Amino acid sequence: MLMLFLVALASATLLPGGSEVWLARLWCQGEPGWWLWAVASVGNTLGSLINVGLGRYARHFEGRRWFPVSRQGLARAEGWYLHFGEWSLLASWVPVVGDPLTVLAGILRLPWWRATLLIALAKGARYALVLWLAGAWLAPLCA
């Protein structure tokens, strides 16, 4: 379970990872689904909140040569985020798109409690879907 938590946490940051495989593997080994859901959801939510925290301090480094995003790129991303609003964090579970969304939430200083709530809803729904799919498709293979 600790590995599931760590992989879920790391895969929600800007690091690559695939917590769904760990979740399905543990489910096939007979671990309780509600426990797997809770561990993966909490780990992945905390990983995204690390991104929010990093975003809160990203402005201090804007304009430096090594900063990964140009000022124009950051302005374009902020415009997109402001257009769709904080509800866009419900897409924080989407690969490739979700991590930058959480960083933008930090850059734009979304209150912690709202970021946490929206991200937790998205991550919890994602892992509920993964477990449902595991039950529907993997059950015959796990025996």
d(CA 139, CA 134): 7
pLDDT for 16: 67
Residue entry with tokens 């960083």: 103
Residues with Cβ < 8 Å from 119, sequence gap 6 or more?
A: 45, 48, 49, 52, 89, 92, 102
Quote the radius of gyration of the chain (alpha carbons, Å): 17
Query: In the prediction, which pLDDT does 40 show?
Result: 95
Structure tokens at 26: 């543990």
Please give the pLDDT value at position 58. Answer: 82
CA distances to 66, 92, 97 from 114, in Å: 31, 13, 19
pLDDT value at residue 87: 93
State the residue for tokens 């124009």: 72
pLDDT confidence of residue 125: 96
- Give residue 60's pLDDT: 77
- Contact of 56 with 107, CB cutoff 8 Å: yes
pLDDT score for 43: 95
The tens-digit pLDDT sequence of the chain (143 residues) is 888 998 888 888 766 678 888 888 899 899 999 999 999 999 999 999 999 999 998 877 877 777 777 778 778 878 888 888 899 999 999 888 888 899 989 988 999 999 999 999 999 999 999 999 888 777 777 76
Global pTM reads 0.86
